[in-house]
């Protein structure tokens, strides 16, 4: 076994590691006496002991050895920490290397600084206990486990000089997201992307259990990693001196392997999938901590997970053990009297932006360049009259995205992500410019695959989301399209990302990143063919629970509004933008000029569609493409069956306009809302999602008692598109009935209309069961302005609120 | 290579397979002319062609060969189909074996039956296109991919005679859930559980892309499966005659391996983890379908995924190709003139309950036995006065669950599931009776692990959920505890299960199964130590979107109500029950008698806690343990600072009581609701989750304009428990302020109180930042009846609505 470290270097590195461990323990326990200059007293101890010791010494060990490689090779390395609850370790390291004080000048490397460092940790109005956004160099909190390796791969894409070292906890390795993440190596191009170095940290235990990967045979574990396509290297032990030499040697090996792979690929322009190295590091949980407490083993067991010694107030023995433990790191060797980390050790760390705490990739906003965006209006569908022309909205968008892709090919900072659904969602025009990334075997009949493709497709929503997050967090742009129902698979990942965005908004040193853009298509109303399992519009509700300054929800009713919304989202920063749009041929309602106006306002009266805008009996509102279609059809039926009914049509694109302006920055002021929805007229609201969401957004509005919402009520199966509407009472006949029945002055006149609409619904049911498709009256229905305001007045297709 | 099939048997089996394939194609395409007695005409073709051909012939092939093993060994085998969109195949097979007609007598094995079989498929008011609940023998729809192997393992637990054959699609294999599922073999006891036979079906393509596992080297794939702990067997080919022999031989091999493993384990009582066999079957996608259409290859490519030939109406050539394709199966050999499947082929299938369509495990309600439940009242915390005694609610529940476990040990039909959190959630008393299932290596310091344990722990919410679903669907009982925030990881799995429950409620032959019971603990208000990433109460909202006849949501305010609720949930059937409860020491408010009464009503006035129940100025409502504590503390402060304010206290356990009775069977009738919440008094509602949920549940109630809700508003970090409340405006002082400010008649009298409460909040902030813990006034606060109704009248702790 080579011993690459001189005795001098070994001494320094071990001292550095001890310092990091010492500061980690100090953060968990102490609020005073940071250098143990006087005997530890209970008054030095925090009242609540919060933090995770178990993983920390291992994280510190890896940090140290990465530092050595960085210094030796001036390597550009960032550190993604799966066991992100090991906050004290990363805080300690970024403090020792000076990043912390640079970002937070109030905390300097002196006695006072150490005191504050310890005290702030897990302290109210201090810093969180995990590797939170507050921690320099982090793009990954790791509170919820499973996403580290995906974030690492996302960061490595299009960053050929970057090595992303990613610690995967053996607990985390049991999660679904992580288990499939290993396959990311089939999507990395060794010529144009950076490298990911996975380090599986087998410390053997989770909160309360051993880990699976620590308890299978070495042969199985090696097979597993080789099966995933890696070249695994193992390091096992607990003697620091031995482990430092072994780890240094191993780091040299894997660094050389990575560079050899890259040199080969780049010199020979051979992007063929290499067998990337990875490390399996087996060290004791809570390494260097108390071996035994109260007669029970702690180091090397799950008992070391959080705070190995507690009850210090009641148990002076434990207090003494803590002092012994902390002194075992020999703080007096490490820090001078003033609390300054001694220079001879500090010099082991890299300088400037090479410090992992200061790597600009980990503060992606610093590197972010705006996308080059073609004018979306150029992709407009020509619409001489509302509803005259059909278009597949997402296919139209695909043309725009293709050119966004083209315009940014050189910058290499835009990618499209999708779980095997890009073509199904009809965005396949992008393949004309860039293929689907694939670095596994190819076969003659394959189409649109490319080892340099910028479309990321794999049948895992987790992988798409995780890669995209990693890509965005390191300062690039992306677009994720997904079947609406199955986006729930990454509910929790979205949740964690939204939390990250919320916290980083308030950290001035963290620069804004590009928004996370979701396009949900193949949505609930057009999953008639795949059936009930594919029908769920609930992601909207989920998003709406997050902080208003983070989330945006758009329901463009047609192709032109989709273009306008999508372009806006691609320009935006630090949001989560949710767009729901259909892929089937559907009427285009607005020409581009009106579409832009409508989207800018977020909602508006479609005066061309109503027949009596000024003083309506009823407001027919809609949000979503299918609800808009059904509403306009309902309005047509109303006009022909009951022309004296005065109808105003309102369409909502930006759902957050429904909320009060106090709740959401896009919220419409109450007086505007009242003008549009009236103060006292019935509102029949056809909504894409679950009806309750509209109620919850509008419950503070003047007229909310009169808002009657139709939407998805969890009814569905394999059937026809129109039958989906009927089963959920969102169909044109039901909406027309709703309108008629809510207007008292129509009571007597409406009987024939009510009968007609009711019969239509029955007729439909008989027709579809008999013929297996929607009745021609529905299929062939076209909007006609006959009897509408558009016929009566000069055409104004705009969504003018005034 | 052995050739186990006689020529006669080969002929029959191939005929059987052709029949299944024929019927599969017929279902996708035909509405008439089922035996092609006359030339195929466009009028025979369905107007909409829906269905998935690609995976179907492979599924049929496996079905056939499993049938042979069943017949040969009278083996008890069930079939879980990951590529569940291959509906036509499973419908065809259950039809051929007679299961379909037995369950749906309207559809017999004759000409008329064939016609109906074809026509009903993917037809409105017919049957769905996937292996939906309507399909006999299925426990797994597979609309959303990833959960098949987990369902299979869940089904195998405690069913020692059962073999669950599970087809994993190579698309599905890319999902996170599936990628980690392979490790389930470390949780199977070969003595007491059944076997799972995974069959990875490499048909090479997803909707539009090749699959990862089909494009790595054979060596990698084999390593991967060995790394997962299996003994992989490979079968590759496309020549039916050869493949039949090979598959028969392989099935013999793996069946023998399984039985050998089981014999060894059972004869020697050696539950050590064996290397279970698994199969990798590589056959062309759309095997036996059109090779090429319009000059493009179809068989063996992603183009075979759904409907290989379309546009038949416009393209007579395609129609002809369809006829040729269907005739290639030689239907006249397979069916007689009357459409009856010829006996010589039909006899290849098993009989009675051995048919996979009739396996009772796949209709779990048939096998379900009620749990033996001890009387939960025996576990009551003694409460001489409300709030006098503290208890850790989940720990108290743990005692009850331990004895539920004990009482059902012999029946082997109850398991507890948790992602490494059972002890953290303080349910560890169950280990006294049964350990944590573990069949990987054990070490001397391990605690509570057992190869026969009935507690399933692994750091994957997906695995816990999937196993539990499989266990429930096959007629057993379970209980899943999870950190509240991270249950979102399985949002989508819950969603699919809820859909399954909804559909099966309406299928009389599907008997009700045990409810899916979630206990969410370590909840948002007590994740002060882990910080923002661990704080999310949104699962409640998510659940509330599902059908009212499926979901129940409980927020027991203390240990005794938790006992009552949990016992009720364990007795219930065919629901998803969500319970949210804390694990920290907290006051017990109700003695058991009152707890039962309160839970039975679902909500109620706590007259002992108010000071003027009959004619209140304000209603202080609460749902959830922390909101209840804060409300009662607020009420105390109000009594001491403003005794003339008349307060009524209402507590809600069963959240669905808030909804109108028309919306949910638990909904309170309006007149009762009005009596409790008044028609016109301000209601200050302290809620566990996001405030909007209460608004959305109550928006139709008379007094909803007066309901002011405090709850989680997405503010949090690592801090103290009380600071969590303050940051989200749920703290006692804010609630007291809310009450005071909403009562106009207090305007002048309340100034001092307003000032006092406002100052308290500021005092708190200063205190926690200085001392790192909550101020003693808050920590030490105890409920006192001084000034309350309880002091004035004889104590009535009941939640009497009257």
> Looking at residue B799, what is its pLDDT?
42
Domains of chain B plus CATH, in order, are 7-359 (3.40.50.970), 376-441+448-588 (3.40.50.970), 605-779 (3.40.50.920)
- A488/B714 Cβ within 8 A: no
Out of A129, A446, A485, closest to residue B718 by CB:
A129
> Looking at residue A793, what is its pLDDT?
58
> Looking at residue B786, what is its pLDDT?
86
Residues paired with residue A164 on neighbouring β-strands, in sequence order: A78, A196
Q: How far is A52 from chain B (nearest CA, A)?
A: 10
Q: What are the chain A neighbours of B534 within 8 Å (beta carbons)?
A: 143-144
Q: What is the pLDDT of residues B227-284, one digit of tens each?
A: 999 999 999 999 999 999 999 999 999 999 999 999 999 999 999 999 999 999 999 9
Q: What are the chain A neighbours of B442 within 8 Å (beta carbons)?
A: 215
| Nearest residue to B730 (alpha-carbon basis) of B605, B636, B626, B591 | B626
- The tokens 């890259």 sit on which residue? A262
Out of A172, A181, A229, closest to residue B220 by CB:
A229
- A690/B695 Cβ within 8 A: no
Q: What are the chain A neighbours of B122 within 8 Å (beta carbons)?
A: 529, 718
Out of B531, B533, B545, closest to residue A690 by CB:
B545
- The tokens 């558009």 sit on which residue? A790
pTM: 0.97
Out of A436, A542, A704, closest to residue B542 by CB:
A542
| Nearest residue to B590 (alpha-carbon basis) of B398, B393, B793, B427 | B393
The Cα–Cα gap between A156 and A154 comes to 5
The stretch A796-801 carries a mean pLDDT of: 43
Kindly state the helix (H) or strand (E) to which residue A78 belongs, with its residue range. strand A76-81
Sign of CA dihedral B131, A457, B179, A140: negative
The Cα–Cα gap between B101 and B355 comes to 13
Whole-number percent of chain A with pLDDT over 70: 99
Most A CBs within 10 Å, among B124, B436, B443, B683, to test the A interface: B124
- A462/B175 Cβ within 8 A: yes
Average pLDDT score over chain B = 96
DSSP string for residues in A333-358: HHB-TTSPBPHHHHTTS--GGGSGGG
- A227/B225 Cβ within 8 A: yes
| Nearest residue to B65 (alpha-carbon basis) of B3, B13, B140 | B13
User: Is the ipTM here above 0.90?
Assistant: yes
Asked whether the predicted pLDDT for residue A87 surpasses 80, the reply is yes
The C-alpha angle with vertex A49 and arms to A117 and A167, in degrees rounded to 5, equals 70
The stretch A484-502 carries a mean pLDDT of: 97
- A228/B546 Cβ within 8 A: no
The Cα–Cα gap between B114 and B338 comes to 10
Q: How far apart are the first and last CA of chain A?
A: 80
Q: How far is A312 from chain B (nearest CA, A)?
A: 16
Q: How many CA atoms lie within 13 A of B47 on its CB side?
A: 15
The stretch A653-676 carries a mean pLDDT of: 95
Cα B656 from chain centroid?
A: 20
Asked whether the predicted pLDDT for residue A65 surpasses 70, the reply is yes
Q: Which residue of B has its CA nearest to A305?
A: B424
Q: How far is A724 from chain B (nearest CA, A)?
A: 10
Structure tokens given for A337: 């009297």
Residues paired with residue B236 on neighbouring β-strands, in sequence order: B282
DSSP string for residues in A157-195: TT-TTEEEEEEEETTGGGSHHHHHHGGGGGG--TTTS-E
Q: How far is A594 from chain B (nearest CA, A)?
A: 34
Out of B297, B462, B531, closest to residue A129 by CB:
B531
Q: How many CA atoms lie within 13 A of B490 on its CB side?
A: 31
> Looking at residue B793, what is its pLDDT?
57
> Looking at residue B326, what is its pLDDT?
98
Residues 6 or more apart from B201 whose CB is under 8 A from it?
B55, B58, B59, B62, B82, B83, B167, B168, B169, B170, B281, B283
SS3 B126: coil
> Looking at residue A800, what is its pLDDT?
43
Whole-number percent of chain A with pLDDT over 90: 95
Q: Which residue of A has its CA nearest to B169?
A: A459
> Looking at residue A797, what is its pLDDT?
44
pLDDT lower than 50: segments of chain B: 794-802
| Nearest residue to B490 (alpha-carbon basis) of B368, B401, B578 | B578
DSSP state of A581: -
Q: How many Cβ atoms sit within 10 Å of the Cβ of residue B316?
A: 10
- A227/B223 Cβ within 8 A: yes
Sign of CA dihedral A598, A599, A604, A610: positive
Q: How far is A742 from chain B (nearest CA, A)?
A: 16
The Cα–Cα gap between B747 and B121 comes to 68
Q: How far is B72 from chain A (nearest CA, A)?
A: 34
Q: What are the chain A neighbours of B436 within 8 Å (beta carbons)?
A: 209
């Amino acid at each position: 076994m080579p011993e690459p470290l001189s005795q001098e270097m070994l001494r320094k590195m071990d001292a550095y590691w001890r310092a990091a461990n010492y500061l980690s323990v100090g953060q968990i326990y102490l609020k005073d006496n940071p250098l143990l200059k006087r005997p530890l007293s209970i008054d030095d101890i925090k009242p609540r002991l919060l933090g995770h010791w178990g993983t920390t010494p291992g994280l510190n060990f890896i940090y140290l050895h990465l530092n050595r490689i960085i210094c030796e090779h001036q390597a550009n390395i960032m550190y993604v920490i799966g066991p992100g609850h090991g906050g004290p370790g990363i805080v300690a390291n970024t403090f020792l290397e000076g990043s912390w004080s640079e970002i937070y000048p109030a905390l300097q490397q002196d006695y006072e600084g150490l005191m504050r460092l310890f005290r702030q940790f897990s302290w109210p109005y201090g810093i969180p206990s995990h590797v939170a956004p507050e921690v320099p160099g982090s793009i990954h909190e790791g509170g919820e486990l499973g996403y580290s390796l995906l974030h690492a791969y996302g960061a490595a894409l299009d960053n050929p000089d970057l090595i992303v070292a990613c610690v995967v906890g053996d607990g985390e390795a049991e999660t679904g997201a992580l288990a499939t993440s290993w396959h990311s190596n089939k999507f990395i191009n060794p010529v144009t992307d950076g490298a990911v170095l996975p380090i599986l940290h087998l410390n053997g235990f989770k909160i309360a259990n051993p880990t699976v990967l620590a308890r299978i045979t070495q042969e199985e574990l090696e097979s597993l990693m080789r099966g995933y396509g890696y070249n695994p290297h193992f390091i096992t032990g607990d003697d620091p001196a031995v482990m430092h030499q072994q780890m240094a040697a191993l780091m040299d090996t894997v660094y050389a392997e990575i560079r050899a792979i890259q040199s080969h690929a780049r010199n020979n322009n051979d992007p063929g999938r290499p067998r990337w190295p990875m490390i399996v590091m087996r060290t004791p949980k809570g390494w260097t901590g108390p071996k035994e407490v109260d007669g029970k083993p702690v180091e090397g067991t799950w008992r070391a997970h959080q705070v190995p010694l507690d009850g210090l107030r009641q148990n002076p023995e434990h207090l003494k053990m803590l002092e012994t433990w902390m002194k075992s790191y020999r703080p007096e060797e490490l820090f001078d009297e003033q609390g300054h980390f001694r220079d001879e050790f500090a010099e082991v760390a890299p300088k400037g932006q090479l410090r992992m705490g200061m790597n600009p990739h980990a503060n992606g906003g610093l590197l972010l360049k705006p996308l080059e965006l073609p004018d979306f209006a150029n992709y407009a569908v020509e619409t001489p009259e509302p509803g005259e022309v059909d278009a597949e909205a997402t296919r139209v968008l695909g043309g725009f995205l293709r050119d966004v892709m083209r315009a940014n090919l050189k910058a290499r900072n835009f990618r499209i992500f999708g779980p095997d659904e890009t073509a199904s969602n009809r965005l396949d025009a992008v393949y004309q410019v860039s293929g689907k990334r694939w670095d596994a075997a190819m076969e003659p009949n394959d189409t649109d695959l490319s080892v340099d493709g910028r479309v990321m497709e794999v049948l895992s929503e987790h992988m798409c989301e995780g890669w995209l997050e990693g890509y965005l967090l390191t300062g690039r742009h992306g677009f994720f399209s997904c079947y609406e129902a199955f986006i729930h698979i990454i509910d929790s990942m979205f949740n964690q990302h939204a939390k990250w965005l919320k916290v980083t908004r308030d950290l001035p040193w963290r620069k804004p990143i590009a928004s996370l853009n979701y396009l949900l298509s193949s949505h609930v109303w057009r999953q008639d063919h795949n059936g009930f399992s594919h029908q769920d519009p609930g992601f909207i509700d989920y998003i709406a629970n997050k902080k208003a300054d983070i989330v945006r929800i758009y329901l463009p009713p047609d192709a032109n509004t989709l273009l306008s919304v999508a372009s806006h989202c691609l320009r935006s920063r630090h949001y989560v933008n949710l767009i729901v749009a259909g892929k089937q041929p559907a009427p285009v309602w607005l020409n581009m000029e009106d579409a832009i106006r409508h989207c800018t306002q977020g909602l508006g009266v479609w005066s061309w569609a109503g027949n009596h805008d000024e003083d309506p009996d009823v407001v027919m509102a809609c949000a979503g493409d299918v609800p808009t279609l059904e509403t306009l059809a309902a309005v047509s039926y109303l006009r022909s069956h009951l022309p004296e009914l005065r109808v105003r049509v309102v369409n909502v694109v930006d759902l957050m306009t429904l909320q009060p302006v106090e709740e959401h920055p896009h919220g419409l002021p109450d007086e505007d809302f009242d003008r549009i929805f009236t103060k006292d007229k019935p509102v029949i609201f056809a909504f894409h999602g679950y009806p309750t969401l509209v109620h919850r957004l509008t419950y503070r509005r003047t007229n909310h008692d009169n808002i009657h919402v139709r939407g998805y009520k969890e009814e569905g199966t394999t059937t026809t598109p129109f039958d989906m509407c009927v089963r959920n009472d969102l169909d044109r006949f039901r909406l027309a009935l709703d309108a008629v029945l809510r207007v008292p002055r129509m009571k007597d006149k409406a009987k024939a209309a009510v009968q007609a609409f009711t019969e239509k619904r029955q007729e439909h049911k008989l027709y579809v069961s008999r013929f297996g498709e929607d009745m021609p009256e529905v299929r062939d229905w076209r909007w006609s302005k006959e009897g509408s305001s558009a016929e009566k007045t000069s055409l104004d297709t705009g969504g003018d609120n005034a």
